[in-house]
């Protein structure tokens, strides 16, 4: 895809994002005053827009630095690990729930550091990394279900998003962007084949630390509110990659817009689909992206 067509697609997605955000500000089934929209709807739709972008960029960073198209943070156990910690906080220290986005981000970062000293280090191929990550993710999911049974824990919807959640998300988003800008020249090294990069003295393990840390913290922050969404990052990043056929650095803005649009769309559907009832946002998000997984599998099977 040419640079001009990518720019046109970015403009279209930007307009779509604005329309979806505008739609999300309305409240169905009741007369909504200005304060109701500001307190209930506005933080939710902005969180969805920023959170979707962080979700997909996180997957892009992992896929690029780990050199695998089949990986995102949910498959490495980071999202479900953050959700598990929030569930524990909900049961044991409920007074700290207002800091859940910050706690989720710190959990994602900590788990990333642990993975870099264990699973990332001993992997022999992406297959073993995926297998080990999924095992860890399933363990965390099972533990979360056991802990939250009968507790009324709701960690899979944006319906209870607050301004506090949004402010913490913005702080974490901006902090991550500063780190990415600081190390962006290093990111270009991952465009080269691994062997060629090593011959030029490029240390992948060291250079990937900041990018993976940002990816882990962003995913943890979003998962603290949204819950775990498997495969969504992989699907959206790969759809953008197949559509544009350019390197990661040149499609990052398109990836940001795609993630934001899809999550806002999923949250709008969760809010409006059934009158007087809120559906889980993460379930709608996975429902929207599930058909795309089959498309990608067929594409990948032809390449093998």
Torsion of CA 100, 73, 269, 154, to 10 degrees: -30
CA distance 264 to 270: 10
Q: Mean pLDDT of all residues in the chain?
A: 84
Mean pLDDT calculated for residue range 269-298? 83
At 46 the pLDDT is 93
Structure tokens at 82: 């953050």
146 pLDDT exceeds 80? no
Average pLDDT over residues 176-192: 87
pLDDT in tens, 109-134: 999 988 888 877 665 566 667 777 77
Identify which has the larger pLDDT, 116 or 155: 116
Determine the straight-line distance between the first and last CA of the chain, rounded to whole angstroms. 24
| Residue 165, pLDDT score | 93
Q: Which residue has the tokens 């809010």?
A: 271
Round to whole Å and give the CA distance between 224 and 203. 32
Q: Render pLDDT for 25-57 as a digit per residue (tens, 0 to 9).
A: 876 655 556 667 777 788 999 999 999 999 999
CA distances from 97 to 76, 87, 189, 224 (A): 24, 9, 40, 10
Closest CA to 51 of 241, 227, 302: 227
- Count of structural domains within the chain: 1
**Residue 53: predicted pLDDT:** 95
- Domain of residue 264, residue span: 3-303
H or E element: which one contains 250?
Answer: none
The per-residue b/e assignment along 4-31, b for 16 or more CB within 10 angstroms, e otherwise, is eebeebbeebeebbeebbeebbeeeeee
Domain CATH for 116: 1.10.3470.10
């Amino acid at each position: 895809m040419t640079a001009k067509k990518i720019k046109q697609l970015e403009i279209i997605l930007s307009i779509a994002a604005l329309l979806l955000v505008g739609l999300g500000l309305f409240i169905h089934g009741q007369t909504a005053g200005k304060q109701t929209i500001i307190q209930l709807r506005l933080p939710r739709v902005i969180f969805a827009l920023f959170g979707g972008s962080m979700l997909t960029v996180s997957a892009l960073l992992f896929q690029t630095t780990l050199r695998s198209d089949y990986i995102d943070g949910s498959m490495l156990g980071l999202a479900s690990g953050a959700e598990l910690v929030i569930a524990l906080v909900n049961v044991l220290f409920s007074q700290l729930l207002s800091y859940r986005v910050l706690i989720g981000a710190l959990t994602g970062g900590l788990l990333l550091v642990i993975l870099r000293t264990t699973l990332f280090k001993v992997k022999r191929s992406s297959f073993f990394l995926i297998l080990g990550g999924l095992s860890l993710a399933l363990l965390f999911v099972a533990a979360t279900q056991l802990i939250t049974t009968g507790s009324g824990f709701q960690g899979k919807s944006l319906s209870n998003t607050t301004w506090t959640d949004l402010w913490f998300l913005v702080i974490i988003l901006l902090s991550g962007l500063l780190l990415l800008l600081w190390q962006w020249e290093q990111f270009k090294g991952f465009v080269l084949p691994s062997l060629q990069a090593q011959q030029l003295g490029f240390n992948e393990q060291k250079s990937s630390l900041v990018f993976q840390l940002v990816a882990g913290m962003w995913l943890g922050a979003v998962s603290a509110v949204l819950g775990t969404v498997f495969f969504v990052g992989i699907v959206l990043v790969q759809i953008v990659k197949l559509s544009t056929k350019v390197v990661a650095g040149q499609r990052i803005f398109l990836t940001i817009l795609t993630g934001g649009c899809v999550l806002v769309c999923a949250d709008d559907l969760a809010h409006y689909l059934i009158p007087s009832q809120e559906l889980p946002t993460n379930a709608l998000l996975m429902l929207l992206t599930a058909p795309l997984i089959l498309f990608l599998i067929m594409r990948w099977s032809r390449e093998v």
